[in-house]
Amino acid sequence: MANLEWCKRQKDGLEMAEASENISEDYLKNAEESLRVLQKIVENESRIWAATMKYYIEYFSVSAVLYRIGIRSKIHDCTIEAVEFLQDEGIFDEDVAGRLRKSKELRIENQYNLKNMPVEIDLRDLRNFILQMKKTKDDLTDKKVNRIRSKLFN
């Protein structure tokens, strides 16, 4: 698994970006759109795409929080490392990093390794996850954002 220092040294790993409410909101919109698509996928019983969409709903939702802080990452393991860091900083109340890791592994097993493993889809839980990430993002003060940015990138 990646670590924060390794991620900061990688191209497209963890980078300080301008904190952006607009990009943050766009990620939440992508999560909501993906949830609507997932509802149709579940009806058609596609395990590959259910696992993929479930993961991306969670990934987009978390990315909204990261962009509110001004953290950019295109390496998924590094995104998860950043989420773990934010958990340690008290930004997330639950094991969001663990949830992402589990969903990412299931996506990889079904999408790339063609395992066709069962996917537990709880649309209400996913909807609540999006709302929880929106609340987390909205609760971030500039003071918290600056403290986190300073601690992560200095």
Distance CA 58, CA 129 (A): 7
What stretches of the chain show up as alpha helix (H) in DSSP?
Answer: 4-9, 21-44, 47-69, 76-88, 96-111, 123-139, 142-153
Per-domain boundaries in the chain: 17-148
pTM confidence score: 0.93
What angle is formed at CA 74 by the lines to CA 80 and CA 11, rounded to 5 degrees? 110
The CATH number of 17-148 is 1.20.120.330
Under 8 Å between Cβ of 64 and 31:
yes
Q: What is the pLDDT along the chain (154 residues), one digit of tens a residue?
A: 569 999 999 999 999 999 999 999 999 999 999 999 999 888 778 889 999 999 999 999 999 999 999 999 999 999 999 999 999 999 998 899 999 999 999 999 998 888 889 899 999 999 999 999 999 999 999 999 999 999 999 8
Q: In this predicted structure, what is the pLDDT of residue 123?
A: 95
Q: In this predicted structure, what is the pLDDT of residue 129?
A: 98
Residue with tokens 């990646």, as numbered in its chain: 2
